[in-house]
A = this chain, B = another copy of it.
Amino acid sequence: MTINEIDLGVTCDMHVHVREGAMCELVTPTIREGGVSVSYIMPNLQPPVTTLDRVIKYKETLQKLSPKTTFLMSFYLSKELTPELINDAAKLGAIHGIKCYPAGVTTNSAAGVDPNDFTAFYPIFKAMEDNDLILNLHGEKPSVSNDSGSDGRGDIHVLNAESKFLPALAKLHKDFPNLKIVLEHCTTAEAIQTIENINKDIKDPSEIRVAATITAHHLHLIIDDWAGNPINFCKPVAKLPSDRRALVNAAISGKPYFFFGSDSAPHPLENKSKHVNVSAGVFSQLFAIDYVAEVFDQQNSLDKLRDFVSTFGLQFYGINEKALISNQKVKLIRKQHVVPQTITDGKGITMAPFMAGHTLNWSTEWN
């Protein structure tokens, strides 16, 4: 029997970049257009979001741009944060988590932390643990070329930067066993295996303390796809075919510690069409759920889609009906459409969406 429609419930995208200003105005409505109800917003603005006032105002701006979207907000982990601020922010419900960027690994991460030593932030992590806030990790170590060693074991480059980070994740979990941690946009078979190992004794989803998000684009891409195609260049970079298969298998596994976070990261087309210093990021918001459905369909696993794009994310973040701005449901419908080559606000911003020019077989509709 051919399935032509699937009820996805209240969908969530637990890793979203919407920027500020004109780009924010263009991109924020695309969350809902892309079939997403609940959106966890990244704080890597310039300067980063590190105050109550800022995060409240940012949320207000977003809410005006997309009144029916439920926005979950975050702080940017930096030395400006204090345990007192974390307590206050949690009590007010102003944030759901804090994002940790290793310094220098991706867009607007210059103010980030040294992933070789998190101990300076242990008082913050303690306050987060006490307040049930989530620590979102960009899990990469900055690149290092260790020319003095000849065996290459000291080298860190875009291909092993995530794998080299995994011991730091394990240590954080060991030191804060009740802190909820998300390894964001994981890209390697090794990362998937690490998350599996940490959760091997989990009997109920409520016991999960370490989860991982998987993006739409990493379910599609390998290294060959971004070599020569800056539209597909992002950090962490897409890896090998075997890594992509591990991500797909995790996404369709029905395991409640893998859920969707698009890491949709808008950049003006001119910043993606340069011979040097191309901006890292894939813009997938406008068809976020459709891209994921495409892969689940290829794997004959559409029955697992709702878990991945709704149930598991809401569960881990503890989002109940009361926290929702709208409980309107999303349905997936079989309807072919071609991803436009570009989208524009008509006022100067043009962007190329992920898979520009490709035909997708599924669309979303609001009930």
Contacts and interface: CB of A to CB of B under 8 A. Distances in A.
Contact of A228 (B147, B150, B269, B280): B280
Most chain B CB neighbours (cut-off 10 Å) among A147, A242, A279: A242
Contact of A229 (B152, B245, B273, B277): B277
A278 B222 CA distance: 17
A277 to B, nearest CB: 6
A155 B222 CA distance: 11
A272 B275 contact: yes
Interface stretch (A2-10, A197-205, A230-238, A316-324): A230-238
Contacts of A223: 157-159
Contacts of A226: 227
B231 A150 contact: no
Contact of A230 (B147, B151, B224, B275): B275
Given A275-B269, A352-B275, A227 B155 contact: no
Most chain B CB neighbours (cut-off 10 Å) among A143, A157, A233: A157
Interface in A152-180: 152, 155, 157-159
B233 A228 contact: yes
A240 interface: yes
A1 interface: no
Interface in A228-266: 228-231, 233, 237, 240-242, 245
A158 B213 CA distance: 26
A119 interface: no
A274 interface: yes
B152 A275 contact: no
Contacts of A46: none
Given A158-B223, A223-B159, A230-B230, A245 B147 contact: yes
Given A145-B241, A240-B157, A275 B229 contact: yes
B269 A158 contact: no
Nearest to A152: B242
A279 B227 CA distance: 10
A275 B272 CA distance: 5
A298 to B, nearest CB: 9
Given A157-B222, A157-B241, A352-B275, A228 B228 contact: no
B237 A152 contact: no
Contacts of A92: none
Interface string A345-359: 000000010001000
B241 A152 contact: yes
B230 A274 contact: yes
Contacts of A158: 223-224, 227
Given A272-B275, A274-B273, A233 B227 contact: yes
Contacts of A230: 228, 230, 274-276, 278
Interface in A261-310: 269, 272-280
Interface of A: 143, 145-147, 150-152, 155, 157-159, 222-224, 226-231, 233, 237, 240-242, 245, 269, 272-280, 352, 356
7 cross-chain pairs, A with B, having the tightest CB-CB distances, nearest first = A152-B242, A155-B241, A272-B275, A231-B275, A228-B278, A145-B241, A273-B275
Given A155-B240, A229-B275, 13 more contacts: A145-B241, A147-B241, A155-B241, A157-B224, A158-B227, A227-B237, A228-B230, A229-B276, A230-B230, A230-B274, A230-B276, A269-B275, A276-B356
